[in-house]
Amino acid sequence: MSLATDLIGEPIGADALSDLRSAVGERWVRTDPHVLDSYAAQPFHKVEVGVWIHRPIAVVMPGDATEVAAVVKACNRHHLRFKAFSTGWGAHAGAGFDNVVQIDLRRMNRILELDIENRTIVVEPYVTCAQIQAEVMRHGLNLHIHGAGSNCSPLANATSHMGMGFSSISMGYSPRNLMGIEWILPTGELVQVGSFATGAGWVSPDGPGPSLRGAIRGFAGADGGIGVFTRVGLKLYPWSGPAEIEVSGGSFRGMQVEIPPLNGSFMCIFSNLEDYGDALYDIGYAGIGYAQFKAATGLGLAIGEPELFRRIRDEPGFREQVRAFENQFIVIIGGHTQEHFDYEVAVLGDIVSEHNGTMNSTDGLMATGRGGLWWAVIRNSIAPGMFRPTGNFYSSMGGDEAIANALRQATVGEELKEGFIAEGSCADDLVDNAHTLLYENGLYAHTEELVLYDHRDREQNRKLKGLSDTVMHSIVERTLGGGGFSFFAGAYAHEVLGPHMENYHLWQRRLKSALDPEDLSDSKYFINSEGVEAAGHG
Amino acid sequence: MSLESYRCDMEGCSRCSSCKWIPLAQIRSQRWSQVCPSVWHNDFHAYSGSGKLNVALSILDGRSDFDESAADIFYACTMCGGCDVGCKVYRNDIDLTDTFHEARARAVELGFARLEHLQLVENMRAENNVFGLPRDERADWAADTSLLDANSEQVDILFHVGCRFSYDESQRDDLLAAVEILRTTGKRVGTSGTAEACCGQRAYECGFDSELHNFGDDMVNRVRTSGASMVAVACSDCFGAFNYLYPRNGKDLGVPVRHISEIAAELAADGSLVGAFSTPNATAAARPRVVTYHDPCHLGRRGEDYAGEFDGPKIDRPDNTRRDGRGGRYDAPRDVLKSLPGVTFVEMQRVREFSWCCGAGGGCAEGSESFSIAVATERLEEALSTGADTLATSCPWCVTNFTSAREQMRADGDHREIEIIGISELAARQISGEVPVTITTTATTCEEAAT
Amino acid sequence: MTTPPIPTTTPTDVVTVAAGVDLGNHIRQAVSEGYGLVARSSTGQARHGRGTVSGGARLLDLSALRRVPLLSARERVAIVEAGVTYRQLQPLLDAEGLRLCHPLLPPAGKSVVASLMDREPPMAPRHHWDFTDPMLCAELWFGTGDRFRTGSAAGPGATLEEQWRAGMFQKNPLGPAQTDLAKLAQGAQGSLGFATWTSVRLELRPEIRADLRICCEDLSRIAGFVAAITRRRLGEEILIMDRCQLTRIAEALGVSAGEATHRWSLLLTVGSLPRRPEESMAMQLRQIEELAAAAGLPLEHLAGTADQELMMAVTSLPELPAKIEDWKLAATGGCRELAFLTTLDRALPLVDHVRSRWLGLGIGEGSIGTYLQPLNQGRTCHVELSAFVAPAEASTLDDTTAVLVEELIDAGAFFSRPVGAAIAPTFARCGDVVRTLHKVKAVLDPHGVLNPGALCFDPAIAAAAFEEVSSS
Ligand SMILES: Cc1cc2nc3c(=O)[nH]c(=O)nc-3n(C[C@H](O)[C@H](O)[C@H](O)COP(=O)(O)OP(=O)(O)OC[C@H]3O[C@@H](n4cnc5c(N)ncnc54)[C@H](O)[C@@H]3O)c2cc1C
Ligand code: SF4
Ligand code: SF4
């Protein structure tokens, strides 16, 4: 792969087109090549070379769940694959094959219910994290925003992708925040999961009986491979700041905000990995923190201050000085009362000094102004900046387990990346790029090894596949916490990882076949039904 | 430049969709979070800033043809630059509207220009104004103003009036108030009279580059002849053209360009703005108003100072040579409004560099009327949501479009009241106690005049 | 229609499973000989409707699996085998300064794994992040005889020991990969997989504890207060009971029922945090006091009062008096319960509805106990009404349960873990779920040997669900 003109299938047949049009109305079906290609340009999250993925055969925009079901049924009638997305960022959101009907859920953008007392919200796919946050902050509430940023759909993340984010320490992992799901099966049947099932009028995720949450996703989501999700309940969490934040000076770089009372943001730096790791454990035990993450030094600089970053990278002395800061993380404290805030800050201070660290304000980091980084983290308005330094990035590892394992992943990750940089598979980012964060008061932790590259540099792009394979094999050989992001490499990854992980791939495939006997819910990033044994599974 | 020269920008798009929203850090509600009128109205991704890059790349890669349907997508856009601002919060290597401009230029080359745009260019060629109204009537409005004739007299300030202000009687009060403001500077103020011509901006935005060049050369000459040390404008389109497009296209006016709001703000700061409009009759107290302000794209994000081109791979381009909108003129008009008696100033949520567009730009007012009005209506909704009774702005094109949208709303049975007014006129009214500045009160829009 | 076969032979014997690894053989044998299996991990008399055999099947007794292969204070995690009871685990945890959040007064022989697989409601909403908690990973056996370890226990790392060496402690509850078979098996009453062990998240045992109580007639005020404290994650155990429920517990445990004169008692324990314990205690208590005062609720500190004993008994795992296996069955031997989920602010009309129906059936005022358990950091509430009646009376209740469940569902109750007579009316409302679960069952238990006929795998329920779709 791939010539720019590859990956273009046959035009859609007249019958199928007319069926899709009756499902959603003529205005909401497009088949003109320009519109189709705007869904086929997805350079992120793909190891193949170039910008283009498969051009969908049609794009449809249903307005509600009934229309989604009608689209899926039409696809079943015409034996067309389909792929839904919410905000649609990445190759995993687009067509994985020829002849895929892309379901763009943009019209389903309603906040359906907000239950302030019980801290839950019900939303459709095209409601973004930033929108929800803005709406609920005025009620003293907040939501977990996954690392991809507040431009993204929390429904997509919680039902279908991953779920870690800066606020994981106090708000967990996205799928664990699901409180009910409306699900269009790959066959077109509409299923209400959790308390939606019996129309309770409030939300709870599991039952009656077994939880179908288990069929829609695991640690990773099915990335569109198991039907379409049209409505979810989500948990909300407390917010002790004001209803709105006044922003000045810029929207990222130079951004300044007044950090409100009861809130604070601290960078904790340690002199070695052991102290850093022990401090993470202690923060977990202490039960403190509203948000927490390790901002990789090189990447942080590259996003905020690319010019400075380039200077540092290219000057050996300077480079080593900066790398000396690599054992650091940021903790954001949000108190319910002044006493609570003071308590958490004091405890953080205790922990940092017990481990010989230092604790500083985060003002000015990543080229933000006073208070800017704090707000960038709370709003999670950082993520698109990942593309600033080199135009693209790739994430690896991320099998989440004990902090001890997260630290091993970071160490192995650095080791591997030294090699990748040397062979030109990715950009030199000072190597320290493991992004680490805690979940649920430190019960377990996340590490991902990010690499920066430019897909426009075809040579570098070509090497990405090799890099991704090397990491995947290392996960198995060095027991690095699970498949993490490798799952999204699709069928091949499952064949590599499955045998080392309880043959999960066989079960995943059987479930897929049971729920999607025709294999129509685009399974490129999930699992296809090929190779399923006959009933009874031999 | 050519479309090809933006390939790297097109290929660089990560599809993060920041071009669809106001900057993430600035979102305060779901309702007012979108920034791109094109994708807001047309929904499919192709219409977003990112989508237009994708379409252009598809064409360059030979995956699709540059045909009528591609042109439709490029023209369904107000060229407001909201996408550029959203993108450049994060990216230094992508220039959206510049790419769209090249796509439109290609559309023109290939014969896909909109009929309405061809008409506009035709008008400009024939009569030096976008409406095709007689060029010798261009200065009629100024008959009683005793402004200097900058063609024959040396002036300090050359006031470039612009097509809409010159011909649109309905905005005469705003124009005359602007003149009063200019006079209050104590400088010698003149115009080019009937020799004044269009700035060329509206044609350029539609993909007709040569108009900008031709009118640009003419403007450069007139400025030189006038001896002015400053060009003043009251129209934001003209401001954007002179301040950004001209230098980018090698047209050096040789003197700074100032918008009337900047001049008024300075006067307000030293207390002399009041002098512009205090009349012996000004006995009535200023009418209490709740005013909100609409940032015209071309005074704001599209009007910032041109900072030159970066000579190197764009991925290494520093911030200060990008067009990220932050250098637009945002504070001056607000300072003026806040200084006015009787005014309680309230902000909308989409302001400054991430303002929502009025819908008139990019040839949409001419070529895609219903889209253009829908965009303006959306802005009126936002203005109304603040509780404002007055929507002030500093561009006659915005005023026109908002006024049309309000008329449409009325026709549709929506009678919520909001007064739409230019900032100079508002200053005059508040300071003078509502004494009209105008000489003629019968308002004929230029569209009416042209038909 | 995809429905699992119902085995034809009907043994009723009991086989004790000596080691988890034997389970595969037991299942394969059942498949080849065509009989069903039911697993039981707890010992003692089961509460009505739970752990019972729905059709003829061999009972696999897992209660002999009593090892605790992992207990780590650093990682705050343990692995417990299916037969380990709460009371067996408690001293081991005490020794490490740890605790496991558990449900209200589990019976003496209650298996931790059984309780977790049934998503029983734990009493400390603060630590209840998700409904699967405190369960993390599980070792499951499917109806094919295959073993499957879920979450990060799946690997990589072929053995637990290998995983421990690599710093993996079976802590990530999700997956592996893109499905979550543990979530399917949980709440399935053994119909989609048997668990031989699960890992559990543990909490650090607070050094200092305070026992607080609020007595009040008005549940809505209590609900507002609970919403306020759970929003801030204040309090460890938080539970609400009515007078009858408290009295019955006190009687069964042989402790004083205290002076509760109001209808509702909110029992609230507060624990110090691991760092700066005194300071943390004062900080939490001050917030609780302020919030109670703001709600106009009388907050009582029970330290040193006669009522503290009952409070301690209810919120921990007290020694049960001799011969008492389960406090619920202590007095009459025939308790019936109706349990469902709602939100605390929606609970009262549902509670009153059940009470009025039961009172109408002649159940005495003093025999109907109500227990409200905030869950999921306070977002949801488990409602449990108990009729402490003699076995004969109990069957009268059973006859009316189905209608009552329907009424409750109409009024917004959600039977997330339906048992007994609640099963049919609940699944009748969600043919979509039933049909989907049948597809899942066909994968995880293709021969239908796991608890045949349980839940929506009851042939009558299945028939109705598939009928619904064929007629639509
Ligand atoms: C810079 C960056 C950082 C990131 N960091 C993180 C991180 O820290 N944590 C994390 O969890 N993820 C992270 N991601 C991944 C991110 O979650 C995905 O890229 C995601 O696709 C972006 O979200 P989205 O809202 O655009 O979802 P979409 O692109 O809309 O969808 C995501 C996937 O879900 C499927 N999908 C979406 N909606 C539906 C639906 N309604 N029904 C069925 N399937 C659906 C899509 O097909 C797609 O496969 C990161 C991505 C980026 C670009
Ligand atoms: S903001 Fe820029 S990078 Fe992001 S989708 Fe839009 S054009 Fe592409
Ligand atoms: S210029 Fe304005 S209308 Fe056009 S794509 Fe950009 S934001 Fe949308």
- In this predicted model, what pLDDT tens digit does every residue of C449-469 receive, in sequence order? 999 999 999 999 999 999 988
Which tokens hold the place of A209? 């009986």
- Say how far apart CA A387 and CA A390 lie, in whole Å: 6
- Domains of chain B by residue range: 1-112, 113-450
- Cβ atoms of B326 and B274 within 8 Å: the answer is no
All residues of chain A having their beta carbon less than 8 Å from the beta carbon of residue C27 are: none
Q: What is the dihedral of CA A155, A133, A199, A208, to 10 degrees?
A: 60
Best residue in A216, A353, A502 for a mutation probing chain C (most C CBs within 10 Å): A502
Which tokens hold the place of C274? 């691991």
Instruction: Specify which residues C122 forms β-bridges with.
Output: C103
Q: What is the pLDDT of residues A460-514, one digit of tens each?
A: 999 999 999 999 999 999 999 999 999 888 888 999 999 999 999 999 999 999 9
The answer on pLDDT for B262 being more than 50 is yes
- Domains of chain C by residue range: 12-205, 209-251+261-308, 332-425
Q: Which of B277, B293, B276, B314 is nearest to B433 (CA)?
A: B277
Q: Which of A36, A34, A29, A35 is nearest to A14 (CA)?
A: A29
Q: Is the CB of B89 under 6 A from ligand 2?
A: no
Q: Do C12-205 and C209-251+261-308 share a fold?
A: no
CATH number of B1-112: 1.10.1060
Confidence of residue A295 (pLDDT cuts 50, 70, 90): confident
**Owner of token pair 């009459």:** C332
Q: Please tell me if residue B313 touches chain A, with a CB cutoff of 8 Å.
A: no
C301, burial (CB in 10 Å: exposed 0-12, middle 13-18, buried 19+): middle
The answer on pLDDT for B79 being more than 60 is yes
Judge: A195–C168 Cβ closer than 8 Å, yes or no.
no
Report the nearest-CA residue for atom 20 of ligand 1. Answer: A89
Q: Is the CB of B15 under 6 A from ligand 2?
A: yes
Question: Which DSSP letter does residue A110 get?
Answer: -
Report the nearest-CA residue for atom 1 of ligand 3. Answer: B79
Q: What is the pLDDT of residues B329-352, one digit of tens each?
A: 999 999 999 999 999 999 999 999
- For chain A, the C-alpha Rg in angstroms (whole number) is 23
Residue of C nearest to A347 (CA): C275
The answer on pLDDT for A1 being more than 60 is no
All residues of chain B having their beta carbon less than 8 Å from the beta carbon of residue A132 are: 30
CATH class of the C332-425 domain in this structure? alpha beta
- Say how far apart CA A94 and CA B168 lie, in whole Å: 49
Alpha carbon of B83 to ligand 3 centroid (Å):
5
Confidence of residue B451 (pLDDT cuts 50, 70, 90): low
Q: Which of A33, A135, A454 sits opposite B29 (nearest CB)?
A: A135
E strands present in B257-347: 257-259, 289-294, 343-346
Q: Which of A4, A38, A154 is nearest to B15 (CA)?
A: A38
Taking the CA of residue A214 and the nearest CA in chain C, the distance in Å comes to: 4
- Say how far apart CA C344 and CA C220 lie, in whole Å: 8
Mean pLDDT score, B156-180 = 97
Judge: A207–C414 Cβ closer than 8 Å, yes or no.
yes
pLDDT at C45: 78
Q: Is the CB of B79 under 6 A from ligand 3?
A: yes
Alpha carbon of B301 to ligand 3 centroid (Å):
12
- Say how far apart CA C200 and CA C173 lie, in whole Å: 9
Q: Which of B23, B44, B57 sits opposite A41 (nearest CB)?
A: B57
- Cβ atoms of B37 and B375 within 8 Å: the answer is yes
- Say how far apart CA C439 and CA C436 lie, in whole Å: 5
- Cβ atoms of C4 and C438 within 8 Å: the answer is yes
- Say how far apart CA B124 and CA B121 lie, in whole Å: 5
The residues, ordered by sequence, that sit 6+ positions from A4 with a Cβ below 8 Å of its Cβ are A50, A52, B61, B62, B63
As a 3-state breakdown, chain B gives helix, strand, coil percent values, each rounded to 5, of 50, 10, 40
Confidence of residue A366 (pLDDT cuts 50, 70, 90): confident
- Cβ atoms of A154 and A123 within 8 Å: the answer is yes
Q: Please tell me if residue C430 touches chain A, with a CB cutoff of 8 Å.
A: yes
Judge: A200–C414 Cβ closer than 8 Å, yes or no.
yes
For chain B positions 40-59, those within 8 Å of chain A (CB to CB) are: 43-46, 48, 50-51, 53-55, 57-59
Q: What is the dihedral of CA B436, B438, B441, B445, to 10 degrees?
A: -120
Q: Do chains A and C touch (3 or more CB pairs under 8 A)?
A: yes
Mean pLDDT score, A255-267 = 97
| Lowest-confidence pick of A303-307, A425-429, B121-125 | A303-307
Q: What is the pLDDT along chain C (472 residues), one digit of tens a residue?
A: 556 677 766 677 899 999 999 999 999 999 999 999 999 999 987 776 555 555 578 999 999 999 999 999 999 999 999 999 999 999 999 999 999 999 999 999 999 999 999 999 999 999 999 999 999 999 999 999 999 999 999 999 999 999 999 999 999 999 999 999 999 999 999 999 999 999 999 999 999 999 999 999 999 999 999 999 999 999 999 999 999 999 999 999 988 877 667 999 999 999 999 999 999 999 999 999 999 999 999 999 999 988 899 899 999 888 888 778 888 888 787 889 999 999 999 999 999 999 999 999 999 999 999 999 999 999 999 999 999 998 888 888 888 999 999 999 999 999 999 999 999 999 999 999 999 999 999 999 999 999 999 999 999 999 999 998 888 7
pLDDT at A536: 28
pLDDT at A363: 87
Helix, strand counts (H, E) of chain C = 15, 17
Q: Please tell me if residue B317 touches chain A, with a CB cutoff of 8 Å.
A: no
CATH class of the C209-251+261-308 domain in this structure? alpha beta
Mean pLDDT score, A255-281 = 97
Taking the CA of residue B136 and the nearest CA in chain A, the distance in Å comes to: 45
- Cβ atoms of B16 and B24 within 8 Å: the answer is no
The answer for B393, left when phi > 0, alpha when psi is -120 to 50, beta otherwise, is: beta
- The percentage of residues in chain A with a pLDDT greater than 70, rounded to a whole number, is 98
Q: Following DSSP, what letter does each residue of A371-414 receive, concatenated? A: THHHHHHHTT--GGGGGTTTSEEEEEE---B-HHHHHHHHHHHH
Judge: B16–A32 Cβ closer than 8 Å, yes or no.
no
All residues of chain B having their beta carbon less than 8 Å from the beta carbon of residue A59 are: 44-45
Q: Please tell me if residue A273 touches chain B, with a CB cutoff of 8 Å.
A: no
Q: Please tell me if residue A275 touches chain B, with a CB cutoff of 8 Å.
A: no
Q: What is the pLDDT of residues C205-246, one digit of tens each?
A: 999 999 999 999 999 999 999 999 999 999 999 999 999 999
Which tokens hold the place of B264? 């008024």
- The percentage of residues in chain A with a pLDDT greater than 90, rounded to a whole number, is 88
Q: Which of A407, A440, A479 sits opposite C156 (nearest CB)?
A: A479
pLDDT at A533: 36
pLDDT at B448: 72
Alpha carbon of A152 to ligand 1 centroid (Å):
7
Confidence of residue B440 (pLDDT cuts 50, 70, 90): very low
- List alpha helices for B286-342, DSSP H: 331-339
Report the nearest-CA residue for atom 5 of ligand 2. Answer: B15
Q: Which of B90, B84, B94 is nearest to B301 (CA)?
A: B84
| Lowest-confidence pick of A514-518, A534-538, B44-48, C170-174 | A534-538
We find that the CATH architecture of domain C12-205 is 2-Layer Sandwich (3.30)
- For chain C, the C-alpha Rg in angstroms (whole number) is 22
Confidence of residue B224 (pLDDT cuts 50, 70, 90): very high
**Owner of token pair 């691991």:** C274
Q: Is the CB of B420 under 6 A from ligand 3?
A: no
> Domains in chain A, please, with CATH?
111-238 (3.30.465.10), 249-482 (3.40.462.10)
Which tokens hold the place of A109? 């953008």
- Cβ atoms of B336 and B273 within 8 Å: the answer is yes
Q: Which of B10, B45, B55, B94 to mutate to test the pocket of ligand 2 (most atoms within 8 A of CB)?
A: B94
- Cβ atoms of C323 and C331 within 8 Å: the answer is no
Taking the CA of residue A187 and the nearest CA in chain C, the distance in Å comes to: 11
pLDDT at B441: 38
All residues of chain C having their beta carbon less than 8 Å from the beta carbon of residue A508 are: 177-179
Confidence of residue A168 (pLDDT cuts 50, 70, 90): very high
pLDDT at B152: 96
